[in-house]
Structure 1
Amino acid sequence: MLLAMGFEAACAMLPTERDRTDAALERYRVAFATMRPSALPPTTSDPNYVLFADVLQHVLSSHLKPADPERLVDTAVAGLRKKQQDDRTAGERALTESAIEAMLASLDPYSGLLDTEHVRDIRDQMHGEFPGLGMVVTPDDRSGLLRVVSADVNTPAARAGVRAGDLIARIDDREVNGLSLHEAVMTVRGPSGGSVTLLLRRPGNDVPLLVSVTRTIVRSEPVLHRLEDGVAYIRITHFNEQTSRLVHEAFDAMKGQTDSELAGLVLDLRDNPGGLFEQGVRVADAFLGAVDIVSTRGRVSDVQHYSGGTDDDVARDLPLAVLIDSGTTSAAEVVAGALQDRHRALLFGERSYGKGSVQTIFQLAGGDGLLLTTARYFRPSGGPVECFGIVPNVTVSPAGRPPPSGTWIRAAASVETHPDPATCDPDAVAPPPPRTWTMAELCPEVARRPVQSGVDRPLHCAVAAIRTNRFERATTK
């Protein structure tokens, strides 16, 4: 997820827009009255009504796409009625949340209502420590289930055998189909030490898998590093408040280990679900300097350009390779797209996911939060990322990173996952295709080897290209 953290306020509306919104809200009050024993509409000071009205105002003023207040209320009322049909004992807070979730689900897959605890969890994740399972999920439009985008190494989910591409069909005794993302996440969450049983459907496996995952305090490691045959290897698992600093420290540590005699650098962004937008910009800045890195375009603001704040490249004169796959998402795509467009790096692997939108957290009354899609972002070339993703310079399949010893091999590594085409903008102009090379041109020794489970072909290809100077010869032609 690409987050613009902060607390925003809704913009003022013109009188005619306000009249239409007021009329839509009045229709909502009348519809809500049919759910109450008294059959009376909630007052305009009722906390549940205030919550709904607050969310509606934010959607109308700040969401990426213009929306009709009457259509939004129609969707919300449908959510109300469905909730009451499914649960006759649902209270007014639960009904309100269902109305809001239905309304937000009609906008895009990423917007959602956050309760106070969820807002706190997101803050904890950005700090790098939180209770949970250690996996990132997103709705799967085709199946109606939850798709696992990534399960970080050494987290409860990964240790239990959950991996990217799995579809979560059931959480404990609750079927996922029909649940909103917020409801599903709330079902998974709980205190550290408790367990959750997940029924998984795995691509290529006809037999569902049942796994039990125990929640723990997850201390995330956003940056991992090691030397790989004289080449610096840095893996970024996600972007939190520490990521940029840790990338600098990792590179400096490896320079010290080799007396600055590094042959090159590999930046691994595979299975990276994103995170803080500004951290993605800072990481790209470390290798690009003072150039445009990314731009955003929202509905209520002009194009905003984000540039590097330094004139230095920490890996100056070193060849830079970036590893991507369909789990490379959001802020990770900002980094990959900028490095490719600025001809600073070659990308190895498979096309990235294609999530080119920014979500902003709005503070609501009572401590709740609203996660709302407010902008799309574009590469320095002007190309959109949403749905198109980032195309590698060198296609290497399978692109999945093999897990550490003791975890399940990622057999679904060759299965790419991308947004449902039905959710994409049909009028979007595809970005210009990058210059490409084959494995036979840059790493023939790797290309000739048979594909083996657990062998990291993209990494081996990138290292071979750097070590044999084919990388440098290709990029200077």
Structure 2
Amino acid sequence: MPYARPLRLTSLALALALCSPAWAAEPDPTREPASLAPIPVPPSASNAAPLPLDELRTFAEVMDRIKAAYVEPVDDKTLLENAIKGMLSNLDPHSAYLEPEAFQELQESTSGEFGGLGIEVGMEDGFVKVVAPIDDTPAARAGIEAGDLIIKIDGKPTKGLSMMEAVDMMRGKAGSKIELTLVREGGKPFDVELTRAVIKVRSVRSQLLEPGYGYLRITQFQINTGGEVGKALAGLKKSNDGKPLRGLVLDLRNNPGGVLQAAVEVTDHFLKDGLIVYTKGRIANSELRFSADPGDASEGVPLVVLINAGSASASEIVAGALQDHKRGVVMGTDSFGKGSVQTVLPLNNDRALKLTTALYYTPSGRSIQAQGIEPDIEVARAKLTREQENENLREADLAGHLGNGNGGPDKPSSKSRNAPPRLQDDDYQLGQALNLLKGLSVTRGD
């Protein structure tokens, strides 16, 4: 498999648990994002039309008028930096001008430990929108959900704020409090108070749902996620008394994305060969292809992949590749639909541009930009309410009942009430995924 320098693919958000950086997509066997080499400008961009002199004169005139007539003095540096921010903000929601602090936080966030609230955010109609809360963070514990609109931060409206400004307002020291005003699915606004914390994102979780059936959740694609998934698959087999699994649920819900390399490695654990993803852009360095290596760490286990509207970018790469190869059944609801690649281009004075340079495509050639991955089986989120079990007696409850002639154990009516709670009992989508795997197992005669 060809490897490239780690490339971050997520919705726009900046460090502090609100972000996923994008590294220069320059082919290199190393996996460390140490050097961020600038990508050469294509000849067509430098040798094309002459400078737009009329527009530049207008720009200079506007700048001169602001300096002369604005109510307060404004220095040239502030005006020019604001002009650069405006130039980038009108390209697409994911391109941005990174000042030194934001650039530094962007570089550090691939470690999986950073400060903030634990939400991945984007923009919608001028408001900050939650793409996904990150597991075990203040945002997730407060009940913030994918799709929530943040309309106020500490009482100040977010309408009209840039992404950078909104993120700056949500930054703060661990232990400090912040109040967000949210709107969910067109309902009435409500306030949520959170306490900022140091976010330590645990990328991979796994457990047996039932004997023979595994659960593997990826909360975010970090540099080491591919290796962690390999260990988790081995651990699940060990927990299953060393026997191959009969089914596995790969949970990518509310996973905002992350390092492209990790998404490729995770997908490779489930494929023996074939294309995983490719990218296309205007410059040569943005055109990459990633293919699977021989070998299948998952041992061909029947697979269900769970996605929802909070599954973005790198999550969509994994789901799209497994869907195209018919390696697993994709279940849930439509994913977020971020199919663009951002590249960080370092500038002078510790600043950088985060610029959209390419689109990525699934093995069949699908661009999911602004469309998302459509699940094979749509299962909406639902809250389960269990009926009270009736007090009807069963044969095994009766005194002096006959034993089972086949030697099987008695099953009195009280047995189900004494069963310990299971992860799938309160998660409707997960329960449906497990039921599908059991059905497949029955039809195979396992």
TM-score tier (shorter): 0.7 to 0.9
CA contact (8 A) 2:320 2:362 kept: yes
How far apart in 1 are the matches of 2:384 and 2:372? 19
1:297 aligns with 2:327: no
Q: Tell me the residue number matched to 1:266.
A: 249
What is the alpha-carbon distance in structure 2 between the residues aligned to residue 162 and residue 198 of structure 1?
Answer: 10
1:467 Cα offset (Å): 2.0
Flag the 1:315–1:399 CA change in 2: closer, same or farther, 3 A. farther
Secondary structure in 2 matching 1:103: helix
- Equivalent residue in structure 2 for 1:5, among 19, 23, 47: 23
Report how far residue 191 of structure 1 moved: 2.4
1:152 to 2:134 alignment: yes
2:191 to 191, 206, 210: 210
The whole-number CA distance in structure 2 between the counterparts of 1:389 and 1:373 is 18
Residue of structure 1 equivalent to 2:236: 254
Match of 1:465 in 2: 436
Q: CA RMSD in A?
A: 2.8
Corresponding letter in the other structure for 2:100: T
Distance 1:236 1:213, change over 3 A: same
Q: Which amino acid aligns with 1:304?
A: E
% identity of equivalent residues: 37
**Residue 378 (1) aligns with residue 361 (2):** yes
**Could you say if the C-alpha distance between residues 394 and 10 of structure 1 is closer, same or farther in structure 2, counting changes exceeding 3 Å?**
same
Tell me, in whole angstroms, the C-alpha distance in 1 between the residues paired with 2:94 and 2:383.
25
Out of 20, 25, 28, the position equivalent to 2:59 is 28
Is 1:179–2:161 an aligned residue pair? yes
Q: Matched residues in 2 for 1:365 and 1:472: separation?
A: 62
The change in CA–CA distance for 1:454 and 1:152 in structure 2 (over 3 A counts) is: farther
The alignment status of 1:125 with 2:109, answered yes or no, reads yes
**For 2:115 and 2:56, how far apart are their aligned partners in 1?**
38
Q: Offset of 1:473 from its aligned partner?
A: 5.7
Pairing 1:96–2:127 present = no
SS of alignment partner, residue 137 of structure 1: strand
Q: Is 2:286 aligned against 1:308?
A: no
Cα distance change on mapping 1:131 and 1:401 into 2, 3 Å: farther
Q: Compared with structure 1, are the counterparts of its residues 174 and 304 closer, same or farther at alpha carbon in structure 2 (3 Å cutoff)?
A: same
Q: Which residue of 2 aligns with 1:226?
A: 207
Change (3 A) 1:157 1:105: same
Say if 2:93 is the partner of 1:109: yes
Q: Secondary structure at the match of 1:338?
A: helix
Change (3 A) 1:289 1:472: farther
Gaps spanning 5+ residues in structure 1: where?
40-83, 403-452
Correspondences of 1:297-336 after superposition (within 5 Å): 297-301=280-284, 304-336=287-319
What's 1:76 paired with?
A: none
Q: Give yes or no for the alignment of 1:17 onto 2:35.
A: no
Q: Distance in 2 between matches of 1:181 and 1:266?
A: 35
> How many correspondences in the alignment?
374
Flag the 1:323–1:193 CA change in 2: closer, same or farther, 3 A.
Answer: same
1:263 Cα deviation from its structure 2 partner: 1.4
Residues 264 and 319 in structure 1, CA contact (< 8 A), matched pair in contact too: yes
Shift of 1:338: 0.3
User: Matched residues in 2 for 1:324 and 1:282: separation?
Assistant: 19
SS in 1 for 2:67: coil
1:146-168 alpha-carbon deviations (Å, 9 max, x no partner) = 11111112211222332222111
Q: 1:211, 1:308 → 2: CA distance?
A: 44
What SS class does the counterpart of residue 183 from structure 1 fall into?
A: helix
Secondary structure of 1:366's counterpart equals coil
Secondary structure of the 1:147 match is strand
Work out the CA distance in 2 between the residues paired with 1:372 and 1:361. 6
TM-score by length of 1: 0.72
Partner of 2:427: 456
Counterparts of 1:401 and 1:18, CA distance in 2: 62
Q: 1:350 to 1:29 in 2, by over 3 A?
A: same
Structure 2 CA distance for partners of 1:92 and 1:352, relative to 1, 3 Å: same
- Structure 2 counterpart SS, 1:314: coil
Take 1:120 and 1:184, find their aligned partners in 2: how far apart are those partners? 18
Alpha-carbon contact 2:286-2:357 (below 8 Å) kept: no
1:422 paired residue number: none
Task: Give the TM-score normalised by structure 2.
Answer: 0.77
Distance 1:308 1:9, change over 3 A: closer
Deviation, structure 1 residue 97: 3.5
Matches for 1:270-281 after TM superposition, within 5 Å: 270-281=253-264
Closer, same or farther: CA 22–260 of 1 in aligned 2, 3 Å: farther
Distance 2:172 2:53 in 1: 38
CA change 1:301–1:396 in 2 (3 A) is: same
Q: Does 1:164 align with 2:129?
A: no
Distance 1:104 1:348, change over 3 A: same
Tell me if structure 2 keeps the 8 A contact 1:281–1:306.
Answer: no
- Which has the higher relative contact order, 1 or 2, with Cα contacts under 8 A spaced 6 or more apart? 2
Of Structure 1 and Structure 2, the greater helix share is in 1
| Alpha-carbon separation, structure 1, partners of 2:315 and 2:230 | 17
